[in-house]
């Protein structure tokens, strides 16, 4: 199938993108088009106007701040993978990016597009949620910042209001004492995960997180994160209690992904 007719306009700045969108339902932003493109082709989305953010320099910058690094929403997965960007973490962002699909997708797909699309199986969605990231939004009412735990409201659902776009993503800085682990189960390379887990231990800041992804709703932060990471709680028991809506075989897969992400955190190796 081919997409329906639409107009494509290029935004030169963040403000221009917001005004071109104009809060209209029939206008949609597009960045790498890796998720929106297939939806247009299948006519699951039929916008009359697409506002292209991908060439907007303002959405492609990196700003270093005291406790965080702010990444423009239109930076591609490949740009993170290639390691040319300042990393808020001890080298984890390129490792996350290189796990996304394959290079052709990574060359076009953007971090902002991935978060806005909010597929619970997507790599940035689960890992940045665990890393305590937030998104900076720009819209007709001005700018606001919202933590990812509140931004994701369901599978493919976010707190983005009409005409709002993600301008940037703030990733808290993590020191050398912080540890991270990530595990996803895919049937084959380049496919979306069937179960995934991202784990953070940052004792310096007293932050511990274990986040379950690929669960067909917004990623869930599991309770007892520190106890899970320190081996004082059993992933099977915690997953059983925290994700009762999953069928038993999916819960088992999720518990194993959690255990492997924790093992990766301890060993310094993630899959």
Ligand X SMILES: Cc1cc2nc3c(=O)[nH]c(=O)nc-3n(C[C@H](O)[C@H](O)[C@H](O)COP(=O)(O)OP(=O)(O)OC[C@H]3O[C@@H](n4cnc5c(N)ncnc54)[C@H](O)[C@@H]3O)c2cc1C
| Residue 100 in contact with ligand X, rule: CB under 6 A | yes
**Nearer to ligand X among residue 50 and residue 239 (C-beta):** 50
> What burial class does residue 185 get, using C-beta atoms within 10 Å of its C-beta: 0-12 exposed, 13-18 middle, 19+ buried?
middle
User: Are the beta carbons of 214 and 121 closer than 8 angstroms?
Assistant: yes
User: Are the beta carbons of 195 and 253 closer than 8 angstroms?
Assistant: yes
Tokens found for residue 46? 């039929």
Residue 28 bridge partners (DSSP): 50
**Nearer to ligand X among residue 238 and residue 264 (C-beta):** 264
**Nearer to ligand X among residue 214 and residue 220 (C-beta):** 214
Element (H, E) at 169: strand 165-172
User: Are the beta carbons of 78 and 106 closer than 8 angstroms?
Assistant: yes
| Residue 222 in contact with ligand X, rule: CB under 6 A | no
Which residues lie below 8 Å from residue 86, measured CB to CB, with a gap of 6+? 62, 64, 69
| Binding span for ligand X by CB under 6 A among 79-87, 105-113, 206-214, 234-242 | 105-113
Name the residue among 100, 210, 215, 238 with its Cα closest to residue 152. Answer: 215
| Residue 30 in contact with ligand X, rule: CB under 6 A | yes
| Residue 114 in contact with ligand X, rule: CB under 6 A | yes
| Binding span for ligand X by CB under 6 A among 121-129, 141-149, 211-219, 246-254 | 121-129
Q: How far apart are CA 139 and CA 154, in angstroms?
A: 21
Q: Which of 18, 20, 89, 109 binds ligand X (CB under 6 A)?
A: 109
| Residue 28 in contact with ligand X, rule: CB under 6 A | yes
| Residue 116 in contact with ligand X, rule: CB under 6 A | yes
- Compose the 147-166 pattern: x for residues touching ligand X by CB under 6 A, - for all others: -------------x----xx
Q: Which of 14, 20, 21, 29 binds ligand X (CB under 6 A)?
A: 29
Binding site for ligand X (CB under 6 A): 28-36, 53, 73, 100-101, 105, 108-110, 112-114, 116-117, 122-124, 160, 165-166, 190, 192
């Amino acid at each position: 199938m081919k997409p329906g007719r639409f107009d494509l306009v290029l935004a030169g700045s963040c403000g221009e993108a917001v005004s071109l969108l104009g809060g209209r339902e029939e206008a949609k932003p597009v960045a790498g088009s890796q998720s929106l493109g297939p939806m247009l082709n299948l006519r699951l989305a039929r916008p009359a106007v697409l506002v292209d953010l991908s060439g907007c320099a303002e959405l492609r910058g990196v700003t270093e701040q005291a406790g965080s690094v702010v990444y423009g929403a239109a930076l591609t997965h490949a740009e993170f993978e290639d390691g040319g960007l300042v990393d808020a973490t001890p080298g984890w962002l390129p490792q996350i990016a290189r796990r996304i699909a394959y290079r052709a997708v990574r060359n076009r797909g953007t971090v902002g597009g991935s978060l806005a699309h909010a597929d619970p199986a997507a790599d940035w969605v689960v890992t940045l949620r665990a890393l305590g990231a937030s998104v900076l939004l720009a819209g007709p009412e001005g700018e606001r910042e919202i933590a990812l735990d509140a931004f994701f409201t369901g599978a493919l659902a976010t707190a983005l209001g009409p005409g709002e776009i993600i301008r940037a993503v703030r990733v808290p800085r993590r020191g050398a004492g912080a540890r991270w682990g990530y595990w996803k189960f895919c049937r084959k390379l380049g496919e979306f995960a069937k179960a995934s887990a991202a784990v953070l231990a940052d004792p310096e800041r007293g932050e511990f997180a274990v986040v379950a992804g690929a669960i067909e709703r917004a990623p869930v932060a599991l309770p007892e994160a520190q106890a899970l990471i320190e081996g004082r709680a059993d992933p099977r028991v915690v997953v059983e209690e925290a994700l009762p809506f999953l069928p038993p075989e999916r819960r088992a897969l999720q518990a194993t992904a959690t255990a492997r992400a924790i093992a990766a955190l301890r060993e310094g190796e993630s899959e």
